[in-house]
């Protein structure tokens, strides 16, 4: 270590002694990630910036180049998010990593150049800070709270690599320390009551905790550290539900908050500092929520303002931190690239030795956030359905109008999806991706469930009602309603019921109850790259790959009753600033009283051609009298040699005779399998 760097007792995630192992292991096991880091670092040396890291919140693949000096207030395509990504400075950490990975001094010089440029161009005075109180202490575009918290963590990552360079002298050390001090002053002061409710609070506080812990010789560091720990603990109670989901109901920001808690807790543990038990407990529950909603392909579902990001790296780091084999079972076989930097040789060895154990149950309901996950197993080919029976996010910012939405994947293919977010700019596309029309949920009279005001505000939001969940080895059952169409002059009660008949298929029942006639539409949004084929005689829709081959699975969709069907173009946004054309099907019908869409979703493997029959049948009451269709709906599904019969009572729990059984309840299921004993279940009393 250079002599001008004062000894500080607390240590970062990595130090010079870790360098050889990290570099050797990264080059051997994560060559693609190394290539990406070096590419972005090389661009930064040329004052060219792209934001393509998987966890860049607002990605942009367009290279933007500055000449001689960076314009830190530049907005690419007039988007503020590009400006804040520039000022969050992930490239500073990557320049440090590039220096260690290659030993090339140009990366150290590039880090120093950008550090000096940013500090010189972005002064912050006490007067500016205090006068910004009316703007929630967002002083200016380059000094916003959450960006400053993120920025200092990336600067620190680069610093703990670059400081071993001969280019790092007394001048650089003092300049860096002065900026750390300024960030500490700002982050300790710029915190509001609302921040305690928002992901911003964690993004700010993670930065404050790290700089206070690592620069303990700064005069105010102990006060800052105490403040940061108190905030982390208080926010855990406010922001994270008992089921582990972050209160913004958005997988992207769930993971941003999780990451902040992870870094704070892991750094404190490395320095033998105990945090309140609530912090570790909250983080552990957040990992459990991630495990619940991870899709079979390893990505997060695009709930709310989210991208389709691979979250296996998140689970890998959680597996090391909490020694959880269930997290490892859905993570990478080896510790992820960033996990290698965080945990070094000891963490790498611990992960390697940790047995991967599949979670005890496959289907999970997050009761507080309202998400139900029905899956056949934990393999990458699993059948998986997500049902959103939860409320819009607490602060009404990153949430979409998506109550009762479903997403579905099977055999390695996403079929029904949430199309994503695409942009935060106030324009037509922002409205497009947030509103209910771009979600797989029922609509009445061409009206949205909630009223969109602007990019960050809603009015008359639809609220979920009557969520119910039951899981069994042979089935999953979930239902929920919402009040979004109570506000109509002629109100409509909407209810969605979903039955997963394990391990084969789902039945989705959308029931509309109204006094007057209404027009109902049910959009189904398909992943990009799928093509739809309609078989009108069988009321069947088949979704397959556009490049259909014997290796591609399909989703067969049957409507029990005749409905209108139209195909429309749509968009899917896997990442911010990126969108791809896709297609959606819109089922429609009109009616008064009880109107239902009853839909069978049957995924098939390649070359699997199941003989399917989907029809309505009848039942008797406990006295042997035939029950009319307005009192109960009875559905028979024949698939191969198995016949399943589902009964839905419209008059509450009653006794019914159907499919050779006599049972009582509201939702009943019976199975007849050739050569086996008949079975039946009460899904809901």
| Residues 375-398 pLDDT 10s | 999 999 999 999 999 999 888 889
Tokens of 183: 């960030």
Residue 170 in this model has a pLDDT that exceeds 90 = yes
Local confidence band at 2 (pLDDT 50, 70, 90 cut-offs): low
Residue 444 contacts residue 488 (beta carbons within 8 Å)? yes
Tokens of 493: 């009660």
Fold of domain 12-190: Glycosyltransferase (1.50.10)
Question: CA 636 to CA 658: how far, in whole Å?
Answer: 10
Cα-Cα end-to-end distance for the chain: 70
- The 3-state DSSP composition of the chain as helix, strand, coil percent (nearest 5) reads 35, 30, 35
Residue 62 contacts residue 81 (beta carbons within 8 Å)? no
Question: CA 614 to CA 634: how far, in whole Å?
Answer: 11
Half-sphere exposure of 132 (CA within 13 A, CB side): 20
Can you point out the beta strands (E) in 526-666?
Answer: 530-535, 540-545, 554-559, 564-575, 578-604, 612-617, 620-621, 632-639, 642-649, 654-658, 661-665
User: What would the pLDDT profile of 601-650 be if each residue is shown by its tens digit?
Assistant: 999 998 888 999 999 999 999 999 999 999 999 999 999 999 999 999 99
User: What would the pLDDT profile of 634-648 be if each residue is shown by its tens digit?
Assistant: 999 999 999 999 999
Residue 182 in this model has a pLDDT that exceeds 90 = yes
Query: What are the Cα distances from residue 111, in Å, to 13, 180, 337, 383?
Result: 19, 15, 21, 47
Q: How many other C-beta atoms can be found within 10 angstroms of the C-beta atom of residue 604?
A: 19
Query: What are the Cα distances from residue 71, in Å, to 47, 64, 79, 92, 107?
Result: 10, 11, 14, 16, 20
Question: CA 392 to CA 435: how far, in whole Å?
Answer: 12
Q: Please report the pLDDT score of residue 9 as a whole number.
A: 64
Q: How many other C-beta atoms can be found within 10 angstroms of the C-beta atom of residue 536?
A: 9
Please spell the DSSP secondary structure of 163-178, one letter per residue. TTSTT--HHHHHHHHH
Question: Does the predicted TM-score (pTM) go above 0.75?
Answer: yes
3-state secondary structure of 665: strand
Q: Please report the pLDDT score of residue 3 as a whole number.
A: 45
How many residues are there in the chain? 685
User: What would the pLDDT profile of 3-57 be if each residue is shown by its tens digit?
Assistant: 444 545 689 999 999 999 999 999 999 999 999 999 999 999 999 999 999 999 9
Rg (CA), the chain: 27
Query: Which residues, 6 or more positions from 125, have their beta carbon under 8 angstroms from its beta carbon?
Result: none
Q: Please report the pLDDT score of residue 647 as a whole number.
A: 98
CATH-assigned architecture of domain 364-607: Distorted Sandwich (2.70)
Residue 477 contacts residue 469 (beta carbons within 8 Å)? yes
Q: Please report the pLDDT score of residue 606 as a whole number.
A: 84
Sort strands 443-444 and 451-454 into parallel, antiparallel or unpaired. unpaired
Q: Please report the pLDDT score of residue 447 as a whole number.
A: 96
Tokens of 460: 């008359």
Residue 588 contacts residue 563 (beta carbons within 8 Å)? yes
574: nearest Cα among 297, 327, 186: 297
**Unique residue bearing structure tokens 């609509």:** 443
Domain residue ranges in the chain:
12-190, 234-348, 364-607, 611-685
User: What would the pLDDT profile of 467-498 be if each residue is shown by its tens digit?
Assistant: 999 999 999 999 999 999 999 999 999 999 99
Task: Give residue 1's Cα distance to chain centre.
Answer: 41
Sign of CA dihedral 305, 311, 313, 314: positive
Q: What percent of the chain has pLDDT over 70?
A: 98
Please spell the DSSP secondary structure of 268-306, one letter per residue. HHHTT-PPPHHHHHHHHHHHHHHHHH--TTSBPP--SS-
Residue 216 contacts residue 9 (beta carbons within 8 Å)? yes
Tokens of 323: 């020694």
Report the C-alpha dihedral over residues 438, 442, 445, 451, rounded to 10 degrees: -50
Question: CA 515 to CA 16: how far, in whole Å?
Answer: 73
Residue 461 in this model has a pLDDT that exceeds 60 = yes
Backbone φ, ψ for residue 509 (5° rounding): -115, 115
User: What would the pLDDT profile of 223-260 be if each residue is shown by its tens digit?
Assistant: 999 999 999 999 999 999 999 999 999 999 999 999 99
- Burial of residue 607 (CB within 10 Å: 0-12, 13-18, 19+) is exposed
Question: CA 312 to CA 300: how far, in whole Å?
Answer: 9
Tokens of 8: 């500080």
């Amino acid at each position: 270590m250079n002599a001008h760097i004062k000894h500080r007792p607390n240590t970062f995630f990595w130090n010079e002694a870790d360098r050889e192992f990290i570099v050797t292991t990264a080059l051997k096991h994560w060559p693609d990630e190394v290539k990406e880091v070096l590419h972005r670092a090389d661009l930064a040396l040329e004052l060219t910036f792209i934001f393509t890291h998987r966890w860049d919140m607002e990605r942009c693949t367009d290279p933007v180049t500055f000449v001689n000096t960076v314009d830190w207030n530049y907005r690419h395509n007039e988007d503020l998010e590009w400006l804040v990504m520039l000022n969050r400075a992930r490239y500073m950490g990557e320049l440090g990593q590039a220096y260690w990975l290659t030993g090339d001094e140009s990366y150290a010089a590039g880090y120093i150049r950008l550090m000096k440029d940013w500090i010189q161009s972005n002064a912050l005075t006490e007067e500016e800070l205090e006068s910004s109180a009316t703007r929630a202490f967002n002083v200016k575009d380059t000094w916003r709270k959450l960006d400053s918290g993120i920025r200092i963590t990336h600067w620190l990552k680069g610093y703990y690599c670059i400081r071993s360079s001969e280019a790092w002298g007394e001048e650089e050390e003092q300049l860096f320390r002065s900026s750390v001090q300024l960030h500490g002053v700002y982050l300790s002061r710029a915190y509001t009551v609302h921040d305690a409710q928002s992901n911003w609070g964690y993004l700010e506080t993670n930065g404050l905790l790290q700089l206070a812990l690592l620069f303990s010789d700064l005069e105010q560091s102990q006060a800052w550290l105490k403040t940061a720990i108190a905030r982390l603990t208080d926010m855990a109670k406010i922001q994270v539900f008992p089921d582990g989901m972050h209160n913004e109901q958005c997988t992207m920001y769930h993971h941003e908050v999780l990451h902040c808690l992870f870094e704070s807790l892991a750094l404190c543990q490395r320095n033998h500092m105990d945090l309140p038990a609530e912090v570790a407990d909250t983080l552990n529950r957040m990992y459990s929520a991630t495990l619940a909603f991870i899709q079979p392909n390893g990505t997060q579902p695009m709930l709310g303002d989210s991208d389709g990001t691979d979250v296996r790296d998140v689970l890998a780091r959680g597996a090391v931190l909490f020694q959880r084999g269930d997290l490892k079972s859905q993570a990478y076989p080896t510790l992820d690239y960033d996990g290698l930097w965080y945990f070094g040789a000891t963490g790498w060895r611990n992960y390697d030795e940790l047995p991967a154990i599949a979670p005890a149950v496959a289907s999970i309901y997050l009761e507080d956030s309202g998400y139900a996950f029905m899956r056949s197993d934990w393999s990458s080919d699993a059948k998986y359905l997500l049902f959103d029976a939860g409320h819009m996010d607490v602060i009404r910012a990153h949430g979409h109008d998506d109550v009762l939405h479903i997403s579905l994947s099977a055999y390695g293919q996403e079929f029904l999806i949430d199309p994503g977010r695409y942009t935060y700019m106030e324009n037509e596309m922002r409205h497009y991706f947030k509103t209910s029309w771009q979600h797989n949920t029922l609509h009445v009279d061409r009206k949205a469930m909630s009223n969109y005001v602007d990019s960050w505000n809603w009015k008359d939001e639809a609220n979920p009602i009557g969520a119910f969940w039951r899981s069994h080895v042979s089935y999953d059952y979930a239902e929920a309603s919402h009040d979004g169409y109570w506000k109509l002059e002629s109100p409509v009660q909407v209810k969605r019921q979903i039955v997963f008949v394990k391990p084969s298929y789902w039945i989705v029942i959308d029931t509309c109850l109204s006094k007057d006639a209404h027009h109902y539409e049910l959009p189904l949004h398909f992943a990009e790259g799928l093509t739809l084929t309609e078989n009108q005689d069988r009321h069947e829709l088949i979704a397959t790959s556009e490049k259909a081959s014997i290796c591609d699975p399909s989703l067969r969709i049957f409507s029990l009753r005749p409905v209108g069907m139209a195909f429309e173009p749509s968009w899917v946004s896997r990442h911010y600033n990126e969108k791809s054309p896709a297609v959606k099907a819109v089922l429609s019908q009109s009616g008064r009283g009880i109107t239902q869409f009853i839909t069978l979703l049957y995924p098939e493997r390649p070359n699997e051609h199941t003989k399917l029959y989907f029809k309505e049948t009848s039942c008797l009451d406990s006295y042997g009298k035939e029950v009319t269709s307005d009192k109960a709906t009875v559905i028979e599904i024949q698939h191969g040699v198995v016949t399943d019969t589902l009964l839905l009572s419209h008059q509450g729990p009653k006794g019914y005779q159907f499919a050779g059984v006599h049972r009582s309840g509201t939702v009943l299921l019976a199975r007849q399998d050739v050569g086996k004993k008949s079975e039946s279940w009460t899904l809901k009393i």
